[in-house]
């Protein structure tokens, strides 16, 4: 069991800054997900924990120990990769035992650990098979087993599900979550998939272009994204955005004309810029309703029936791009229908147009809303 702490850690490859001034404290027994688009520095961060990359600047600790100069083999971590790379000529049992044999762990101890891991991962019946006799999901479980038998202080996982098909991915996602509950060990898990991040993480660290943008629980990131990037990255379908100009008590843009919700009035009034970006999630749009709300006149172009819900691709005046809404299928919207989409005022996000930072909502008014 261990914490992992980045203190102002930077990693450069020549002129490329892969990770910039990263400060992040991963708690003991926490399931921390690093998420972000390809190339944002996730794998590099993980490899620095593993000791596979040197740190250009800053301090990295595992527990209380500074590990900047500690060799990978002395860090008490185990890593699971996207390509699980099992030894093809060895049985499942030998694949799991191999690392322990190299470490000269007593035979009886090895057998016990392999047996326990096989039980946790439901591999008991497969121990004498070779990798080619296994499905992709089973192979990935063997790769997990190989990490579990090491009994490391920290598990590092780099996109371990990306080679699995969609159904197996959902299943293995739950298995890894269960594994974490059972082992109560620190896990640092890397993915580009925000759904994986949201469903698995105790906390999530969102990265973009080498920068850590926000750390929080899935709900904190969903409810209170600190900037436009996080707002657009977390949630599916993605948040809608509209560029608006502040005009007195209102915010206006092509096809949009909203009263500024009460909780934003003081911060928007005080802002130097008169340009903002309004954000609203597809699932928060409604057809009808009561309370303080904002209305958008929209035309439904495409209706995707999803069973209990329907997903609407709408056009709004000359707004650039679609506005996406997810509403109850009971509305039975037809292509071509003109709708008044309603946003409950407390579901509106407002971002500074230049910096992308979320405009603060006043807490007093938020409590009323």
Nearer to ligand ADP, 38 or 184 (CB): 38
Asked if residue 18 binds ligand ADP (CB under 6 A), the reply is yes
Tell me the per-residue interface mask from 137 to 176 with ligand ADP, x by CB under 6 A, - otherwise. ----------------------------------------
Task: Kindly state the smallest distance separating residue 114's Cβ from ligand ADP, in Å.
Answer: 31
SS3 state of residue 146? helix
Residues 6+ apart with CB under 8 A from 219: none
| 221: phi then psi, degrees, rounded to nearest 5 | -70, -35
164: tokens are 């699995």
Which position among 40, 176, 278, 358 is part of the footprint of ligand ADP (CB under 6 A)?
40
Q: In terms of CB distance, is 189 or 222 closer to Mg ion?
A: 189
Pick from 22, 30, 42, 117 the residue near ligand ADP by CB under 6 A.
42
Mutual angle of helices 107-120 and 166-183, in 10-degree steps? 130
- Which of 6, 31, 35, 44 is the binder for ligand ADP (CB under 6 A)? 44
Q: Does 191 bind ligand ADP (CB under 6 A)?
A: no
Q: Provide the mask over 29-58, with x wherever binding to Mg ion is found by CB under 5 A and - wherever it is not.
A: --------------x---------------
Interface with ligand ADP, residue 13, by CB under 6 A = yes
Query: How many chain residues touch ligand ADP (CB under 6 A)?
Result: 11
> What Rg do the C-alpha atoms of the chain give, in angstroms?
25
Question: Distance (Å, rounded) from C-alpha 42 to C-alpha 103?
Answer: 29
User: Which window, 35-43, 95-103, 255-263, 303-311, contacts ligand ADP (CB under 6 A)?
Assistant: 35-43
- Using DSSP's 3-state secondary structure scheme, residue 162 falls into coil
Q: Give whichever of 138 and 214 is closer to ligand ADP, judged by the CB atom.
A: 214
Instruction: Yes or no: say if 9 and 59 are a contact pair by the CB < 8 Å rule.
Output: yes
Starting at the edge strand found earlier in the chain, the sheet holding 16-26 runs 16-26, 4-13, 57-62, 65-66
306 binds ligand ADP (CB under 6 A): no
Considering only residues 124 to 153 of the shown chain, the ones binding Mg ion according to CB under 5 A are: none
DSSP letter string, 165-208: -HHHHHHHHHHHHHHHHHH--EEEEEES-HHHHHHH-SEEEEEE
Sites of contact with ligand ADP (CB under 6 A):
13, 16, 18, 36, 38-44
Sites of contact with Mg ion (CB under 5 A):
43
């Amino acid at each position: 069991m261990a914490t992992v702490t980045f203190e102002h850690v930077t990693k450069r490859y020549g002129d490329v800054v892969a990770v910039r001034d990263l400060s992040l404290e991963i708690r003991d027994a926490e399931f921390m997900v690093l998420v972000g688009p390809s190339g944002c520095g996730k794998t590099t961060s993980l490899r620095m924990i593993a000791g596979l990359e040197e740190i250009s600047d800053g301090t990295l600790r595992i527990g209380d120990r500074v590990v900047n100069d500690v060799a990978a083999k002395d860090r008490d971590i185990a890593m699971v990769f996207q390509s699980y790379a099992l030894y093809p000529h060895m049985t499942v049992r030998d694949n799991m035992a191999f690392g322990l044999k190299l470490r000269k762990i007593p035979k009886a101890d090895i057998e016990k650990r392999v047996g326990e891991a096989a039980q946790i991962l439901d591999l008991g019946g497969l121990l004498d098979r070779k990798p080619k006799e296994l499905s992709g999901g089973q192979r990935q479980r063997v790769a997990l087993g190989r990490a579990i038998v090491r009994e490391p202080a920290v598990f590092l996982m780099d996109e371990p599900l990306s080679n699995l098909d969609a159904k197996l991915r959902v299943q293995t996602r739950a298995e890894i979550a269960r594994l974490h509950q059972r082992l109560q060990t620190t896990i640092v898990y890397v993915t580009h998939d925000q759904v994986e991040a949201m469903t698995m993480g105790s906390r999530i660290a969102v990265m973009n272009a080498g920068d850590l943008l926000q750390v929080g629980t899935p709900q904190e990131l969903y409810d209170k994204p600190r900037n436009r990037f996080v707002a657009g990255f977390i949630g599916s379908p993605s948040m809608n955005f509209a560029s608006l100009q502040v005009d007195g008590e209102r915010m206006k843009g092509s096809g949009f004309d909203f009263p500024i919700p009460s909780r934003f009035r003081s911060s928007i009034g005080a802002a130097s810029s008169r340009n903002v970006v309004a954000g609203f999630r597809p699932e928060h749009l409604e057809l009808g309703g009561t309370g303080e709300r904002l209305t958008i006149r929209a035309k439904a172009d495409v209706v995707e029936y999803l069973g209990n819900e329907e997903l609407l691709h709408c056009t709004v005046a000359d707004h650039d791009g679609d506005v996406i809404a997810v509403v109850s299928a009971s509305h039975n919207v037809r292509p071509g229908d003109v709708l008044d989409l309603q946003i409950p005022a407390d579901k509106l996000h407002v971002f500074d147009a230049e910096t992308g930072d979320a405009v603060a909502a006043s807490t007093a008014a938020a409590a009323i809303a």
